[in-house]
Structure 1
Amino acid sequence: MTIIDTHAAYLDGTATPGSTIEQALARIAGADRPEIWISRVDDAALRAQARALDAVLAAEGAAVLARLPLLGIPFAVKDNIDVAGMPTTAACPAFAYVPEQSAPVVDRLLAAGALLVGKTNLDQFATGLVGTRSPYGAVRNAVDPAYVSGGSSSGSAVAVALGMIGFALGTDTAGSGRVPAGLNGIVGLKPTRGLLSTRGVVPACRTLDCVSVFAPDVADAWKVLQVAAGHDARDPYSRPISMQGVRRRGYRIAVPAQLEFFGDAAAQAAFEATLARLRDLPGCTFGTVDYTPFRAAAALLYQGPWVAERHAAVGAFIDAQPDAAHPVVAGIIGQANGYDATDAFQGQYMLAALRRAAEDALADYDFLLVPTTPTMPRISDVLERPVELNSQLGYYTNFVNFFDMAALAVPGQNRADGLPAGVTLIGNAGSDHMLATAAAALLGGADANALAADPLPFREPTVQVAVVGAHLEGQPLNWQLLERGARKMAATHTSPNYRLYALPGTTPPKPGLARVDGEGTAIAIEVWELPLRRFGEFVAEIPAPLGIGSLELADGRWVKGFICEPAAIAGATDISMFGGWRAYLTSQL
């Protein structure tokens, strides 16, 4: 069940955190998938934690969900993320250590009432996209165990796909938070770099690493992101992210002009079917972009000097204990010896040029839509050709963190053979909320309007703006606020010192608000909060005779808001008796 469904069951008494944990433990026991887990929280301890939440729920009722938004939701973390008192192995037993503190992202989830079930298997040192490079065993696909699960966050994705847990944390450097989602039919959210703290995470490439989220649907992934996100002053790569607004006029979607499926006709047909479905949706426009810079950047990650960054993370350990590492992983990281500092700078120069080309290609689009993976190999094939097939799985993923982009992998049309085939929406840094609402609106599985109304908190300067007419929620120009990242703070009234007029000849119809001395009335308005960086362009779109001034609210506060030139009011109809623009519009029906 989703988080919403689970919490609804808690509130109507048909389930409790205790019963949910019993269900999770039963599914784990009955699945015969020991390779998913590297370590588990003791069952008795987990049951005790659930019983404690049962008591909290009984005492506080629905109100507790405001304080504990993940109350009683079982989850897991990839075993390169620290949990206090549990070994962190990064899928290498000889590397294991027991941290005294949990990673901040884990602490945030626990503080929100989520129940940690255990730590999951991965491609060793998060080096791989296949899920087979682990001494704890190859993690088999959730739909067909003969196929790869994808990596490196293999165990986390499969545990979610099999319903053992409600969500899981992974990590993503080259696609590890997206490839396993696509291959197992779930959602994989790779946030903008720095939105989630990576402190307490064994690094793969520190400049590129992200903590990612696996969930059954987009709404759950977004809810987990909201809880886990937050600036971490002790993480040098944590940063405040300026969020884009949500689209309200349809989506401008780019697709690679050069699509590659490595001969997998079923994968190609599935992507084309998903694309055809989206093309039929009203309001969407499509175009193609040259995929060359994206592909070239993807190749840099494993065929360029960035392998040296992996060596910076764990190379000393591998050099000291070469037999402790998976041979394929050791071979990849060992390539670092073939690069020097000059190569690193040359790589940076090349990457900067490729990133500029990609930015130019996507300038007129909201996001890039790609297959999450171009193919889906069997485990036996990967064991025979580990590097080649791994490289194929990263064809549409490796460039994303290089280009400082956000990505959301979601299920698409299944392949003809019944296997999953996901698609990924990829946008600029800060596009996380827009991508989530777009995925829900275009591909379903969640309430897009509810997602649009539930953004992350502002982490930048803002300004409050009172709107009175065509910019009200649901009115024709409200998109000018939403697409700039504004959010509604309150529906309220002005002080009783204003009059409202219907302005003639305006398209769409607009009112004019005027402050008067005596004989005024309170007029219904909405107060919206807008990023200060977008305020100037918003004001620039306001046509005469309207403008932005200062309005007095019913509570005595003053905020920026719509005013009207006196000359325009002289020939307008006074509609103050209706108390607001919406009531006036209703009277005209």
Structure 2
Amino acid sequence: MAAGTQSIGWTIADWAAAYANHQTPQALLSELLLTFDQDEPAWIWIASEAQLDRQLAQLAKLLADHQGDKSKLPLYGVPFAIKDNIDAKGWSTTAACPAYQYQAEVDATVVANLQAAGAILLGKTNLDQFATGLVGTRSPYGAVPNTFNPEYVSGGSSSGSASVVARGLVTFSLGTDTAGSGRVPAGFNNIVGLKPTRGWLSTAGVIPACRSLDCVSVFALTVDDAVKVAQAAGGFDAADPYSRQNPNTASTKVSSKPKLAIPDKLEFFGDKQAEQVYLQSLEKLQAMGCEIEAIDYSPFSELAELLYYGPWVAERTVVLNDLLKSDPDAINPVVANIVRNGEKYSACDTFAAEYKRQALARTIQQTLSAYDALVVPTTPTIRTLVEIEQEPVAYNSQFGTYTNFTNLADLSALALPSGFREDGLPAGITLIASTWHDQALADLGKRWQEFLSLPLGATGRAYTSHPDADDNLASSVKVAVVGAHLTGMPLNFQLTTRDAVLIETTKTAPEYKLYALPGTTPPKPGLARDSKGESIIIEIWEMPIARFGEFVREIPPPLGIGNVKTEDGRIVKGFICEPWALEGACDITHFGGWRAFIQNKNQTEKGIACSVPY
């Protein structure tokens, strides 16, 4: 086996298993670096031996600080790459423009956060210059080819970041996404692209494209890994004026029968193969239990037009204004022409466009509130390198058909592999939802990836599911319900109106008794722990943690929220009853659950000895 190839295509779980088996970051990462080729266009910079040694020394210190507990470092020794418009201390940043090059004195916040979680930076990747493009060809360092067929584009602007993940050279990478740069390359290379809610991942230390819209994005082979990386990299950052606190009010799961929207009018620019894969994807989603409904897509299309044919292009002009004046030839001609368009917009144009953006965004958000997600093709078509050279703007615009509106409308998105075209090229779908619904999209994305079980990227490695991944999210709380809050019962609305989602129906440990409480409206049971008890049927719901307090506030005495033990030993929050209320209550434990008791509540006919009203 060639040096380093054993770790090609490893996921985070694979790295953790290797380290648990006494392999070392020094040995594995040094071997992996030997497989990297500085002359191939995906890389701009590759870690030197000294850069790797410094990081390994810091990793050793982190591990010592945690008394050798690797579980406290969720990305311990995991290799990653970043797009070369993101700063890393001691590394040069170019944004794919040598004349713009500088050496970063501090890490971008996302890089610092990832290294604090144990990750090791192995390189910086090529991009469409100044993150302006969706093609991956606008770079003096060369066009990054598609990982499945080098005659085709890789997608951009985060071309190199997608390429090195698709080939399994690193486990994950960071890109940026303003118009779709974190999604289009994912679709073209059979990988996952997480475009987070704006402000979740800090952009401090990132060269802006459109500063008010930019996101740092994550590429990975699996949804599990993408979410783990985003959780490690994200969080409020006072150094970024656009950073936001997650209010934790959004759903973190989707139901077993998700309701999905699709555009009422679809455009594939004559690409029948892309259309076929998308339509097959919809059939597979329905086979998973999803309900699909067409919606008016015109507000989405109208908003998408504003990104490059509106004043937001002037944000790019602000960034490059000095270079345009001092050294215009240093800028790619296509990029320069796009950026110069920002000079033609007035302040009046800008405010008029902003009012239009806000109105369209409100319409879009209201539309999506009725669905778990919008499902679109990640791109409507793909082009060869030759075709892009002939039509660099028109074909680039086609790629953004289903991506350009997302940040303007303040939405979250997750690009997913969806299968292969007849010509062997990959295709993808993207799930899009409202702000801060990233976890819910990931929940559906994991189900999708497990349902398809496609090979990972271009590595040929099989997909392996990790059902316990991210089981305890800080932004949600699991609540066990036993009576009037069960599905179909009178108080279930107190859960559903707070965006709680049913996770499972299960049972308590065999040490509980259930009582019908007298005088309650609607009828309610009381659950009490008892060594002589039995297992009682419960439902477990997952609720946004910010909604939990208002839910608890509505619970009347003698009921309250405590800890409930499930039959498999888990401890979750759930309904309990104060002991004084059980005196004189009817013991209905033998029914095994509240629903069975309600269905058999005619006591006389069933001969139930219970003299109190319930």
The TM-score normalised by the length of structure 1 is 0.83
Q: Distance in 2 between matches of 1:474 and 1:124?
A: 53
Candidates 380, 398, 409, aligned match of 2:404:
398
Alignment of 1:5 onto 2:21: no
Candidates 98, 101, 122, aligned match of 2:103:
98
Task: Map 1:266-285 to 2 at 5 A.
Answer: 266-282=273-289, 284-285=290-291
Mark the CA change 1:68 to 1:451 in structure 2 (over 3 Å): closer, same or farther.
Answer: closer
Report the Cα offset of residue 230 of structure 1: 1.0
Mark the CA change 1:132 to 1:76 in structure 2 (over 3 Å): closer, same or farther.
Answer: same
Deviates more, 1:176-185 or 1:290-299: 290-299
Asked if the contact 1:218/1:446 (under 8 Å) is kept, the reply is no
Q: Distance in 1 between matches of 2:543 and 2:411?
A: 25
Provide the alpha-carbon RMSD of the alignment: 4.2
Q: Partner of 1:301: helix, strand, or coil?
A: helix
Question: Which residue identity is paired with 2:257?
Answer: G
Report the Cα offset of residue 99 of structure 1: 1.8
Q: Deviations over 1:306-343 (max 9, x none)?
A: 11111122222222221111100000000012111111
Report the Cα offset of residue 360 of structure 1: 3.2
Question: Which residue identity is paired with 1:212?
Answer: S
Candidates 149, 152, 157, aligned match of 1:147:
152
Report the Cα offset of residue 297 of structure 1: 1.1
Candidates 20, 26, 29, aligned match of 1:18:
26
Alignment of 1:453 onto 2:477: no
Alignment of 1:469 onto 2:482: yes
Q: Distance in 1 between matches of 2:14 and 2:493?
A: 31
Deviates more, 1:521-530 or 1:19-28: 521-530
Alignment of 1:412 onto 2:428: no
Q: Which residue is equivalent to 1:388?
A: 394
Mark the CA change 1:208 to 1:548 in structure 2 (over 3 Å): closer, same or farther.
Answer: farther
Asked if the contact 1:471/1:478 (under 8 Å) is kept, the reply is no
Q: Which residue is equivalent to 2:500?
A: 484
Q: Deviations over 1:76-122 (max 9, x none)?
A: 11010011111111111111111210001101111111111111111
Q: Partner of 1:443: helix, strand, or coil?
A: helix
Asked if the contact 1:160/1:216 (under 8 Å) is kept, the reply is yes
Report the Cα offset of residue 413 of structure 1: 1.6
Alignment of 1:113 onto 2:118: yes
Q: Deviations over 1:530-588 (max 9, x none)?
A: 53445446776x7xxx767556789xxxx995548999985621649x9x999x9xxxx
Asked if the contact 1:486/1:531 (under 8 Å) is kept, the reply is no
Candidates 79, 87, 96, aligned match of 1:74:
79
Deviates more, 1:443-452 or 1:207-216: 443-452
Mark the CA change 1:574 to 1:16 in structure 2 (over 3 Å): closer, same or farther.
Answer: same
Deviates more, 1:437-446 or 1:205-214: 437-446
Q: Distance in 2 between matches of 1:25 and 1:245?
A: 37
Report the Cα offset of residue 278 of structure 1: 1.2
Q: Which residue is equivalent to 2:459?
A: none
Mark the CA change 1:548 to 1:246 in structure 2 (over 3 Å): closer, same or farther.
Answer: farther
Task: Map 1:15-414 to 2 at 5 A.
Answer: 15-29=23-37, 34-46=40-52, 49-50=55-56, 64-241=69-246, 242=248, 243-282=250-289, 284-414=290-420
Mark the CA change 1:413 to 1:316 in structure 2 (over 3 Å): closer, same or farther.
Answer: same
Mark the CA change 1:468 to 1:86 in structure 2 (over 3 Å): closer, same or farther.
Answer: same
Report the Cα offset of residue 473 of structure 1: 12
Asked if the contact 2:251/2:544 (under 8 Å) is kept, the reply is no
Question: Which residue identity is paired with 1:98?
Answer: Q
Deviates more, 1:172-181 or 1:290-299: 290-299
Question: Which residue identity is paired with 1:136?
Answer: Y
Q: Distance in 2 between matches of 1:551 and 1:70?
A: 35
Question: Which residue identity is paired with 2:515?
Answer: Y
Deviates more, 1:223-232 or 1:350-359: 350-359
Question: Which residue identity is paired with 1:120?
Answer: T
Note the residue ranges of structure 1 that are not aligned, 5 or more in a row: 585-589
Asked if the contact 2:44/2:141 (under 8 Å) is kept, the reply is yes
Asked if the contact 1:503/1:569 (under 8 Å) is kept, the reply is no
Q: Distance in 2 between matches of 1:53 and 1:247?
A: 37
Identity of matched residues, %? 45
Q: Which residue is equivalent to 1:512?
A: 526
Q: Distance in 1 between matches of 2:563 and 2:446?
A: 36
Number of aligned residues: 554
Mark the CA change 1:366 to 1:479 in structure 2 (over 3 Å): closer, same or farther.
Answer: farther
Q: Partner of 1:401: helix, strand, or coil?
A: coil
Q: Distance in 1 between matches of 2:59 and 2:304?
A: 45
Q: Distance in 2 between matches of 1:116 and 1:484?
A: 38
Q: Distance in 1 between matches of 2:137 and 2:153?
A: 7
Q: Distance in 2 between matches of 1:341 and 1:389?
A: 30
Q: Partner of 1:423: helix, strand, or coil?
A: strand
Question: Which residue identity is paired with 2:369?
Answer: A
Alignment of 1:531 onto 2:559: no
Asked if the contact 1:130/1:390 (under 8 Å) is kept, the reply is yes
Q: Partner of 1:246: helix, strand, or coil?
A: coil
Question: Which residue identity is paired with 2:471?
Answer: A
Asked if the contact 1:120/1:156 (under 8 Å) is kept, the reply is yes
Q: Partner of 2:420: helix, strand, or coil?
A: coil
Q: Partner of 2:375: helix, strand, or coil?
A: strand
Q: Distance in 2 between matches of 1:5 and 1:275?
A: 32
Question: Which residue identity is paired with 2:347?
Answer: A
Question: Which residue identity is paired with 1:77?
Answer: I
Mark the CA change 1:209 to 1:569 in structure 2 (over 3 Å): closer, same or farther.
Answer: farther
Report the Cα offset of residue 135 of structure 1: 0.8
Q: Deviations over 1:382-436 (max 9, x none)?
A: 0110000110000000000001000000100211111010110001001100000
Q: Distance in 2 between matches of 1:522 and 1:374?
A: 56
Mark the CA change 1:431 to 1:471 in structure 2 (over 3 Å): closer, same or farther.
Answer: farther
Alignment of 1:573 onto 2:587: yes
The TM-score normalised by the length of structure 2 is 0.80
Note the residue ranges of structure 2 that are not aligned, 5 or more in a row: 1-9, 451-462, 565-572, 598-614
Question: Which residue identity is paired with 1:121?
Answer: N
Question: Which residue identity is paired with 2:25?
Answer: P
Q: Deviations over 1:219-265 (max 9, x none)?
A: 11011011101110121111112342312342101111111111111
Q: Distance in 2 between matches of 1:395 and 1:575?
A: 58
Q: Distance in 2 between matches of 1:149 and 1:480?
A: 44
Q: Distance in 2 between matches of 1:182 and 1:152?
A: 13
Mark the CA change 1:129 to 1:91 in structure 2 (over 3 Å): closer, same or farther.
Answer: same
Q: Distance in 2 between matches of 1:468 and 1:399?
A: 40
